[in-house]
Chains A and B, each alone.
Chain A
């Protein structure tokens, strides 16, 4: 069975410092992995996705994630946080039903301080 674990429920950084949001997954086959962002009172928006091409995936707004099969991880990073990055982030793995069965992590709330 597929599962996804976001290792931190809350992350707080200062503006201009790096961001690291951690995600581990479990899958019995080569998965597709996604990061979505949810700003307050908004729906979710795709940041980036991994679908077995390059292991380093670049997304929108300067975010990127690296697929590490040996570590079953798909951590999200950004070199320099901006105030507008404050939001909730979800790591998502495709389940046995492919894109029909996306499995969401519990979410990581990112706070960015001046």
Chain B
């Protein structure tokens, strides 16, 4: 089994819909992250969490929210999806070395 598992791997939705991307990890790390990848822009940090009670905004948090349900689970929500949120989303965990999931490709029509 993968150390970091993301679901769904692919999702197509319409503008205005609520979307949740889920992430679970078996590495035992306290820190978890959500990144967004766009072509030519690298990865940009959306939110990060040190532990269940500590959640912090990254550089592009507008339009997104997160929930840390347990040490191993960190979900990302788009309350009302818009087309410019079409991207590849990565969950990661770790300190120093990050361990990434395989990504969730989201298309907003």
The number of residues on chain A lying at the interface, defined by a beta carbon within 8 Å of a beta carbon of chain B, is 21
B42 touches A49 (CB 8 A): no
Contact of B48 among A32, A46, A100, A105 (CB under 8 A): A100
A-B contact pairs, 30 of them (CB 8 A): A36-B98, A41-B102, A42-B103, A43-B4, A43-B92, A43-B100, A43-B102, A44-B90, A44-B92, A44-B98, A46-B98, A49-B96, A49-B97, A51-B96, A99-B95, A100-B31, A100-B48, A101-B45, A101-B58, A102-B45, A102-B98, A104-B35, A104-B42, A104-B43, A104-B44, A105-B42, A106-B40, A106-B41, A107-B40, A107-B42
Residues on A with beta carbons closer than 8 Å to the beta carbon of B44: 104
CA separation between A90 and B56, bound complex, in Å?
Answer: 24
A9 close to chain B: CB less than 8 A: yes
| A90, B97: Cα distance in complex, Å | 14
- Min C-beta distance of B54 to chain A, whole Å: 11
Chain B residues near A (Cβ < 8 Å): 4, 31, 35, 40-45, 48, 50, 56, 58, 90, 92, 95-98, 100-103
The SS class assigned to the B binding surface is strand
* Contact between A32 and B96, CB atoms less than 8 A apart: yes
Would you list which residues of chain A between 30 and 68 have a CB under 8 Å from chain B?
32, 34, 36, 41-46, 49, 51
In the complex, how many residue pairs between chain A and chain B have their CB atoms under 8 Å apart?
Answer: 49
Give A32's nearest chain B residue, CB to CB: B96
Q: Is the CB of A43 within 8 A of B45?
A: no
Partner of A43, one of B48, B95, B96, B101: B101
Q: Which A residues are closer than 8 A to B by beta carbons?
A: 9, 32, 34, 36, 41-46, 49, 51, 90, 99-102, 104-107
Given the interface pairs A32-B96, A49-B97, the reply to whether A90 lies near B43 with Cβ below 8 Å is yes
